[in-house]
Structure 1
Amino acid sequence: LYTRTTDVYPAIKERADFANANKGDLFVSIHVNAGPPVKHSKFAGYRKETYYTGKGKSRKKRTRTVPRYTTYFTPNPSRGTETYIWAADRTAAKGDYVSERLSEVVDEGAEYTPDLNDPTFKAQSLLWTKKYFTKSLLLANLVEEEFVKEGRESRGVKQRNEKGIWVLQATAMPSILVETGFISHKPDEEYLNSKKGQEAIAENVLNAIKRYRAATEGK
């Protein structure tokens, strides 16, 4: 299932809600990365600067020589792929969505509504959350392995602790976010815009999912 098939931009929450509502087994988000221009300062000689000392009648005008710098920017050199899994400090948030989905599963075959605060239910939810983390890490590593096989530069599997990534922590299933390259890096941009590059990226991700499925079936 796709969260979108046209050039629209559904809200981040809508994407996670869509995945949860359809009880997905896996959530894969495909992204393109970008790095900000790199700022540089260069010594450009000296200049005279006027300043004052003292107050009232004692106030005096003075001058001094200070260095002068010019600022310029160059393209960000960052390149390659990286795949994200949800951050360690977002495990509690992930657990909340896992608990919600688990309660729906239990409720479908039971005559009662499970207590989300019940210690046994909480323990079961925690086990599923850990299981999803392990599976997410496995898939992320497989994706990066496939990119490396293709000759791409891999920046590895990462977590973003300072902000988190909503679609990863708000989906009750194993989930990854794949950064397929940097549009701010010319060779990466050309690869991402080419038919060959797009087909290779799709095949790399597909192969990783096939390997993931083979490794996790029945587990």
Structure 2
Amino acid sequence: MKERIAKNYDRMSMSRFIPLILLLILLLFSMTQASEISVQVSGGIEKIEAFDEFESRYFSMSQLSEILGEKITWDIVGISAAFESEDHRVVFFINSPYIRIDDSVKNITYPVRTRNGALFVPAKIFIPMLDQIRPEQITWDEGSDRIRIDSEWYNITDLLLQAKANGLLIEIFVTEPKGYETYVSEGNWLNITVPGGTVNRRRILGRRNNRYLRDINVYQFEEAAQISLRLRQPIGKYTHRFQANPPRIQISMIDTSAAPVVQNKVDKVGPDELIDKIIIDAGHGGSDYGAIGLKKTKEKEIVLDIAKRLAKLIRKEKIFQVVMTREKDVYVPLEDRTRIANGSGGDLYVSIHANASLKRSARGFQVFFLAPAKNDAGRAAAQLENAPFLAEMSNKSGQDVDDLSFILSDMIQTEFQAESADLASMIDREFRKKLSKKTKARGIDQAGFIVLNGVYMPSILVESAFLTNKQDEKLLKSKSYRQDIAEAIYAGLKRFKAKYEKR
């Protein structure tokens, strides 16, 4: 009897839990069940996978990439994925809310997800970011659960700057006749506002011309668009009008020295058009050892020796004057390095370093100029050399090192970028003549080196070899190799002077 009662009780207990179990199964199924959202493009509708998480609508970035004619690439271990769109690169870190767009880190609030080998991101936050780096207008309509891609949306399409005999001609191209307003604001900004304008921000920003402009901003407002140009020389008299065939806003800056009359002439460098003062910056120093070699070789000692050898060559021939940021084993703060360079009226800036890598097989010499890094190797080199300066700045400002590095990545000055790249090319050529039989030629690269960002002259950073490589460390400990480095840099400096001072 007791056994029968117990069995009946068990059946009743189970019957109570069956609905709950079924509900849990249904919930789990609904959580994993993929739904779809619409993508409206070229007059048609595509469907891509989607799901909800954290009260946010996630969509398949992998499928959207295919619709855009691009693709997602994965790193070897699958912890990050990259989306490349013409000149832009977006890196997604799986299960993290942080992504990197070019050299800026963004927080998209909710973590990046993967399902069945596909990449998913939250639509509401990420789509506006994607819109900023694509030529099309891309929008997210939460109400209709739809991504819209409009390729023919802009009516302000391009910008052209041209030197004329009597000044500078600025032309803003539009698809149809448009009213506009111009005004000058503090800071030497010329602002052009177009009511009803929709501007191709990416295209306009891509027209930055450092010969005429210090900066350029593009704003898209709800009922207007604005292009703001910060000119190099003070804004004086100017005229403007609308021209047809093709439709464009035409602004003539009269008698401004911002526009050289001869466009093909090589830009002059230096306040007196002479290149006669070289700033030599030996990296690290004092308590900052820099990279440490396998045999305990210190970067700070190696680069100071190279810097002194270079200074000796310069002083011997007397073609240039030379200023050194340090001549002994002391740590020179970032602020002092830039003050020395700018305050002494330098024409060229050379920062000398030795590289390091977790991969002990990595070796070779390399020359960098200041610009946002385009690859992982450039970023790694910049992170290595920036570390002491970021720590120094963090101590002064109270901000985290990571926060400062993100801020600085958006502050890279580009005034002498073309000349710096040219100088890097010339020194790399001399390196190859002298050093390519001894170690690997890694070529020219660009990255956001803080020590170059504050100096107002063409500047390069030399990585003489890898202290973390057995063969390279041996070379760096060799006086003859260090002398070869100094001689190659000096030869490159003379080539640059000959080109840019040539009348």
Q: How high is the TM-score relative to the length of structure 2?
A: 0.27
Partner of 1:30 in structure 2?
Answer: 352
3-state SS of paired residue (1:150): helix
How far is 1:94 from its partner?
2.1
1:130-165 alpha-carbon deviations (Å, 9 max, x no partner)? xx21111111011111111113221111112xxx21
Q: Distance in 2 between matches of 1:147 and 1:91?
A: 31
Residue 150 of structure 1 pairs with residue 469 of structure 2? no
Q: Which amino acid aligns with 1:8?
A: V
Q: Which amino acid aligns with 1:156?
A: G
Q: Distance in 2 between matches of 1:187 and 1:215?
A: 36
1:7-54 alpha-carbon deviations (Å, 9 max, x no partner)? 112112321121011121011001011112x4xxxxxxxxxxxxxxxx
Q: Distance in 2 between matches of 1:189 and 1:13?
A: 30
1:159 aligns with one of 423, 446, 454 = 446
Residue 86 of structure 1 pairs with residue 375 of structure 2? no
Taking only aligned residues, the RMSD between alpha carbons, in angstroms, comes to 1.9
Partner of 2:265 in structure 1?
Answer: none
Partner of 1:19 in structure 2?
Answer: 341
Higher relative contact order structure (alpha carbons within 8 Å, sequence separation ≥ 6): 1
Partner of 2:493 in structure 1?
Answer: 209
How far is 1:93 from its partner?
4.1
3-state SS of paired residue (2:370): coil
Structure 1: state its 5+ residue gaps: 39-75, 96-128
How far is 1:88 from its partner?
4.1
3-state SS of paired residue (1:171): coil
Aligned pairs for 1:8-157 (under 5 A) are: 8-36=330-358, 38=359, 76-88=360-372, 93-94=412-413, 129=415, 132-152=416-436, 153-157=440-444
1:175 aligns with one of 445, 459, 466 = 459
Partner of 1:120 in structure 2?
Answer: none
3-state SS of paired residue (1:180): strand
Structure 2: state its 5+ residue gaps: 1-322, 374-408
Q: Which amino acid aligns with 1:203?
A: E
1:186 aligns with one of 470, 475, 497 = 470
Q: Distance in 2 between matches of 1:144 and 1:156?
A: 7
Q: Distance in 2 between matches of 1:91 and 1:141?
A: 25
Q: Distance in 1 between matches of 2:363 and 2:351?
A: 19
Contact in 1 for aligned 2:428/2:444 (Cα 8 Å): yes
Identity of aligned residues (%): 37
Determine which structure has more spread, i.e. the larger CA radius of gyration: 2
Partner of 2:257 in structure 1?
Answer: none
Contact in 2 for aligned 1:91/1:169 (Cα 8 Å): no
Q: Distance in 2 between matches of 1:9 and 1:34?
A: 20
Contact in 1 for aligned 2:371/2:412 (Cα 8 Å): no
How far is 1:87 from its partner?
1.2
Q: Distance in 1 between matches of 2:444 and 2:452?
A: 14
Q: Distance in 2 between matches of 1:88 and 1:34?
A: 20
Q: Distance in 1 between matches of 2:349 and 2:328?
A: 19
3-state SS of paired residue (1:136): helix
1:54-96 alpha-carbon deviations (Å, 9 max, x no partner)? xxxxxxxxxxxxxxxxxxxxxx11100111111148685426x
Contact in 1 for aligned 2:368/2:444 (Cα 8 Å): yes
Q: Distance in 2 between matches of 1:8 and 1:151?
A: 29
How far is 1:218 from its partner?
5.0
Contact in 2 for aligned 1:13/1:166 (Cα 8 Å): no
Q: Distance in 1 between matches of 2:465 and 2:480?
A: 14
Query: Which one has a larger percent helix, Structure 1 or Structure 2?
Result: 1
How far is 1:189 from its partner?
0.8
3-state SS of paired residue (2:340): helix
Partner of 2:72 in structure 1?
Answer: none
Partner of 1:200 in structure 2?
Answer: 484
Partner of 1:50 in structure 2?
Answer: none
Q: Distance in 2 between matches of 1:15 and 1:218?
A: 30
Query: Which one has a larger percent strand, Structure 1 or Structure 2?
Result: 2
Q: Which amino acid aligns with 1:179?
A: E
3-state SS of paired residue (1:213): helix
Contact in 2 for aligned 1:94/1:171 (Cα 8 Å): no
Partner of 1:126 in structure 2?
Answer: none
3-state SS of paired residue (1:6): coil
